[in-house]
Amino acid sequence: MLEKLMSIDRRIIFILVALAVILPTLIPVSMPISVSEPTQKLYDYIETIPAGGTIMLVFDYGPASLAELNPMARAIMKQCFAKDIRVIGLTLYAVGTTMGSTLIQEVVEETGAVDGEDYVFLGFRPGLELVILGMGTDITSIFDRDYNGKPLSEIPMMQNVTNYDQVDLLVDLSAGSLTEAWITYANVQFNLQIAAGVTGVIISQMYPYLQTGQLVGLIPGIAGAAEYERLIEAPAKGTLWINIESFVHLLIIGLVVIGNIAFFIQRRREE
Amino acid sequence: MEKIIGIWIAAFLTLCIYSFLYRDNPFYRFAEYLFVGVSLGYSIVLQIHQGLIPFAWQPFSAAVTGGSLTGLIKLIPIAIGLLFFAGLSPQQTWLIRYPSAILIGVTSGVAIPNVLQAHIFEQTRGTIGPFAAIHAGTLSGWGVFEAILMVVGVVCTLTYFFFSIEHRGPVKWVSKVGIAFLMIGFGSAFGNTVMGRVALLIQRVDFLLNDWFGTIF
């Protein structure tokens, strides 16, 4: 029995994980979600931005991270449009262009936000820190047109936006280290307030910036997305998926515990 | 109809990728190569349209056709950038030194003060800053504990990476405490990574069960 447990075929574990995902997907279960401090901070900060204010939403991720970051982006945009805060979307990551443009269209269909008045999507520019620094001086020096090719000078919501001075907050949704680039250049050089929504892989990396105030808020992974959906009182995919995730976590914890018990018993027998 | 075809292609490719869980197979490799190729092709086209054309080609053609002094000045950085291609000729490779030197010089000049401020000075302030609050008596008991724990963690972890003295005696024990802090950090990162990876699986299963099955039933 013990030998069988120690040499269990990994494909059996895959099947167990698949079942732990499929069953709660078919029979949704609702579990309580408590809001963590970093997520609450970002929500509160956006709540303090007056109507007519502007935020930049940066889609620095690709399809491999949309499961965690799309629900956050959706929730933030809904909050902004409900409060009449204008959203400037852009990306420093080439593949993020499709993420941003597609998601904005989905949210626009739900909320009825108007292109050029409530939001604008600028698209992508290569150059990372040079793009960040350039926009700090003059946004039109980097993006003279939006993603659809319309000159920024003809877009109503961009009439009074020249650089970061007119931007109340930048939220970077990132699957890599681009949030650090925004902190290093936009926050240090131009004192732009920055918040982040990040994938699970880099959550730990972001906490020091939260503690120092270099980030005004942080949405940590899919759990943070669910928390944000709770805050805006619009449960969606984030809430659904974190409930399913809890079952997989229970399974993983169970497997780790069983594996360790079996390991220690076997070692004791060998001794 | 286009949407349904897109969903079926996405579902097929998703199943191709997950077939690797059983064993490596041609379907998995086909989907893998397709993903790499499409991602790279898409990125290159986007770099050309969003970077090369508006920042190099359009100023270049405007300078040539317009002949204005302002336009001609833009030819200088374009010409320096083109020197990177000197590497294609073994006799002219030395020309790469010029754009490389400018790139490294500018990047260093821009990055060093900002990086020092963001990652060294601010983080140092964040580590010792709470002690000012302790001194002022504005920090709660838990806050005091957190502040002390953070300093202990930073000092012990840095000691572990300090190789100029031999790790013996008290230094050895301080660095061992540093290892404990590192392990806690790695554990936290690993746990969060598992959460992220499981979320990807859940999103794909959600797509298959709701979007794909939705086109069948």
* 3-class secondary structure, A232: coil
Q: In angstroms, how far is the first alpha carbon of chain A from the final one?
A: 19
Our CA-based measurement puts residue A51 at a distance from the nearest CA of chain B, in whole angstroms, of 31
Which is more confident, B69 or B134?
B134
CATH code of A37-235, in short, is: 3.40.50.10160
Distance (Å, whole) CA A69 – CA A61: 8
Q: Which residue of A has its CA nearest to B204?
A: A67
Question: Which of left, alpha, beta for A116 (phi over 0: left; psi -120 to 50: alpha)?
Answer: left
Residue B131 lies in a domain: no
Residue B193 lies in a domain: yes
Which residues of chain A neighbour B125 with C-beta distances below 8 Å? 212
Question: Which of left, alpha, beta for B104 (phi over 0: left; psi -120 to 50: alpha)?
Answer: alpha
**Mean pLDDT throughout A190-197?**
97
Interface of A with B in 157-196 (CB under 8 A): 180, 183-185, 187-189
Tens-place pLDDT, residues B153-205: 999 999 999 999 888 999 999 999 999 999 999 999 999 999 999 999 999 99
Residue B129 lies in a domain: no
Tens-place pLDDT, residues B128-144: 999 999 989 888 899 99
For residue B95 the two structure tokens come to 């020309």
Other CB atoms closer than 10 Å to residue A128's CB: what's the count? 15
pLDDT score for A181: 96
Distance (Å, whole) CA A6 – CA A15: 17
DSSP line for B86-123 = GGGSGGGGGGGHHHHHHHHHHHHHHHHHHHIIIIIIHH
Contact criterion met (CB < 8 Å) for B209 and A22: yes
B138 reaches A (C-beta below 8 A): no
Distance (Å, whole) CA B64 – CA A78: 47
Other CB atoms closer than 10 Å to residue B193's CB: what's the count? 17
Residue B163 lies in a domain: yes
Q: Which residue of B has its CA nearest to A213?
A: B126
pLDDT band at A243 (very low <50, low <70, confident <90, very high): very high
Other CB atoms closer than 10 Å to residue A241's CB: what's the count? 27
Distance (Å, whole) CA A119 – CA A110: 14
Distance (Å, whole) CA B200 – CA A70: 12
**CB-nearest partner of B209 from A26, A94, A201:** A26
Give residue A142's Cα distance to chain centre: 24
Q: In angstroms, how far is the first alpha carbon of chain B from the final one?
A: 16
Distance (Å, whole) CA B40 – CA B48: 12
ipTM: 0.90
Mutate to test the interface with B, among A203, A205, A229, A237 (most CBs of B within 10 A): A203
Residue B146 lies in a domain: yes
Give the residue carrying structure tokens 């961009």.
A158
Distance (Å, whole) CA B1 – CA A26: 26
Helix axes A237-270, A221-231, angle to 10 degrees: 150
- Mean per-residue pLDDT of chain A: 94
Asked if A176 and A202 touch (Cβ cutoff 8 Å), the reply is yes
Contact criterion met (CB < 8 Å) for B195 and A245: yes
Distance (Å, whole) CA A41 – CA B75: 47
Q: What are residue A124's DSSP bridge partners?
A: A91
Cβ contacts of residue A160 below 8 Å, gap of 6+? A166
Give the residue carrying structure tokens 């060093």.
B112
Our CA-based measurement puts residue A129 at a distance from the nearest CA of chain B, in whole angstroms, of 9
A151 reaches B (C-beta below 8 A): no
**Mean pLDDT throughout A245-253?**
95
A255 reaches B (C-beta below 8 A): no
pLDDT greater than 80 at residue A2: no
Give the residue carrying structure tokens 């001794």.
A271
A22 reaches B (C-beta below 8 A): yes
**E-assigned strands of B17-147?**
none
Contact criterion met (CB < 8 Å) for A211 and B118: no
Distance (Å, whole) CA A33 – CA A22: 21
Give pairs for B135-141: CB < 8 Å, separation 24+: none
- The proportion of chain A whose per-residue pLDDT surpasses 70, expressed as a percent, equals 100
pLDDT score for B173: 95
pLDDT score for B74: 77
Distance (Å, whole) CA B114 – CA A128: 14
Q: Which of B80, B198, B99, B110 is nearest to A13 (CA)?
A: B198
Residue B77 lies in a domain: no
pLDDT band at B57 (very low <50, low <70, confident <90, very high): confident
pLDDT band at B217 (very low <50, low <70, confident <90, very high): confident
**Mean pLDDT throughout A100-115?**
96
> CA separation (Å) from B162 to A141, A248, B167?
45, 40, 9
pLDDT score for B67: 66
* 3-class secondary structure, A26: helix
Task: Provide the number of structural domains found in chain B.
Answer: 1
Q: Which of A64, A54, A58, A56 is nearest to A174 (CA)?
A: A58
**Mean pLDDT throughout A136-147?**
94
- Mean per-residue pLDDT of chain B: 91
Q: Which of A16, A18, A227 is nearest to B204 (CA)?
A: A18
Highest mean predicted confidence (pLDDT) among A258-267, B16-25, B137-146: B16-25
Other CB atoms closer than 10 Å to residue A188's CB: what's the count? 20
Half-sphere exposure of residue B90, counting CA atoms within 13 Å on the CB side? Answer: 0
**CB-nearest partner of A212 from B126, B195, B200:** B126
A199, amino acid identity: T
Q: Which of A205, A208, A185, A209 is nearest to A195 (CA)?
A: A209
Domain span at B196: 140-217
Residue B13 lies in a domain: no
Asked if A180 and A172 touch (Cβ cutoff 8 Å), the reply is no
List the domain boundaries for chain A.
2-28+246-270, 37-235
Which residues of chain B neighbour A25 with C-beta distances below 8 Å? 202, 205-206, 209-210
pLDDT band at B55 (very low <50, low <70, confident <90, very high): confident
- The proportion of chain A whose per-residue pLDDT surpasses 90, expressed as a percent, equals 86
A215 reaches B (C-beta below 8 A): no
